[in-house]
Amino acid sequence: MPSSELIYAVDLGSFKFKIACGVLKEKGKVEVIELKEVDSSGILKGILQDPERAKNKLKEPLKQIEVSTGREIDEIMVNIGGSHLEMLFSKGESAVSKASQEVSKEDAERALSSAQNIALGENREILFFYPLGYRADGSELVSDPVGLTARKLEVETLIFTGFSPFVKNIYDLFESLEIEVKEIVPSVLASAEVVLSPEEKDLGVALIEFGARNTQVLVFEEGKPSLFFVIPAGSEHITDDLAVGLALKREVAELIKLEYGRFKSLKAKGKGEIEVGEAKKILFPLKEANRIILARVSQIFKEIYKRLKEENKLKKLPAGIVITGGGAKFKDIEKIANKELKLPVKIGVPQRKVLNLPLEPEYAVIAGLLKLGEESKVEWEEGKEAWWKRVKDWIKNFLPS
């Protein structure tokens, strides 16, 4: 199998690392041929803090995939999380150079480079960038301005930025593994690629990536992202709360969360029973455990509601709320979210753009990374301009070092 047909991705989750290899099928589809999962290490608050510990976890599964496919992994798609992530918008413009006033590809590129003249905060860098659309002499937004007639071309762009030291940790990790990082993508943006439909994005929808240590929220309106924010809490905080509230070891609290938080109704009463090791059982009060789980989950959704209200987005989401990520598997989470957010809610799973992958919310990020990798590879191999890759190269050329 030619290496050009393979796509590799790693989901650096706080709870699990997922490593996948996909093969290009018909255009728009990726079939997963290798999927490995290992416990996470080196991640703190959703951020890679210790590349060496992460390397020790990833080395073996990456090697296994290379042996299985008979190919060395040359480049890889990677996600990024954490409350350091920010989304912003920028505009650029250029004068149309031809006497005929016909917009050229070079005019579009100059407008894009102009959009990079923005002041980023200290120690911040651009992670992900793409044009939202162009205006020719103030016209409506169009996706491709080449060939239009205008005197001035404007572009509106979307930019995700991250804290440079955290981004560097990811590059350092894979450099130590002798693998090139193809792209670093915010987790919720990767999930949106395979969880949301074009119709939902057009109508207005909020995607909630309920992770282990943070919860990312991305709002779409008229097909484009309009708001992004991070709540610094996730499903691992429920484990912490249970450990403190029930005076149990954290590993026992994690078992309780997985068993009773995900598979049994939060209205259960009486005594709960959890097996720990061989022939050892621990009893705990179900009512108190349920209260602790419900309190934390409700708090996260209350924070999301507050932000959506502050940004005047609540009435702009006719497609409602889509929840994905590992935290989306909690029993009754749709009811809790519906109560706190006062909007229709559903659980989002990877759609059939990525084949041979479990249709579960915790696989949305890895599926989205593979899909984004496929789109880039197809564009590159067909000789098209891989905008989302090329634009980043332009950014490096035009931003001050």
- Domains by residue range for the chain, with CATH: 3-83+165-189+351-385 (3.30.420.40), 86-163+388-398 (3.30.1490.110), 198-350 (3.30.420.40)
Range from 58-62, 101-105, 379-383 that averages highest in pLDDT: 58-62
Helix H or strand E segment including 86: strand 86-95
Q: What average pLDDT does the segment 270-276 reach?
A: 83
Is pLDDT of 385 > 60?
no
Half-sphere exposure at residue 144, Cβ-oriented, CA atoms within 13 angstroms: 5
**High-pLDDT (> 70) share of the chain, %:** 90
Q: For residue 224, what pLDDT band results from cuts at 50, 70 and 90? A: confident
Q: What average pLDDT does the segment 123-129 reach?
A: 87
Is pLDDT of 191 > 90?
yes
What is the pLDDT at residue 145? 86
Is pLDDT of 264 > 80?
no
**Which comes out higher in pLDDT, residue 148 or 316?**
316
What CA–CA distances, in Å, run from 38 to 17, 46, 55, 60, 286? Answer: 5, 16, 12, 10, 30
**Residues 271, 290: contact at Cβ < 8 Å?**
no
Integer Cα distance of 190 and 372 in angstroms: 7
**Residues 262, 332: contact at Cβ < 8 Å?**
no
What CA–CA distances, in Å, run from 120 to 69, 74, 87, 155, 171? Answer: 42, 31, 11, 19, 20
Q: What average pLDDT does the segment 78-82 reach?
A: 94
What is the pLDDT at residue 395? 36
Half-sphere exposure at residue 176, Cβ-oriented, CA atoms within 13 angstroms: 15
What is the pLDDT at residue 388? 40
Is pLDDT of 399 > 80?
no
Residue 36 tokens read as 């490995």
Integer Cα distance of 155 and 114 in angstroms: 9
**Residues 96, 381: contact at Cβ < 8 Å?**
no
What is the pLDDT at residue 138? 87
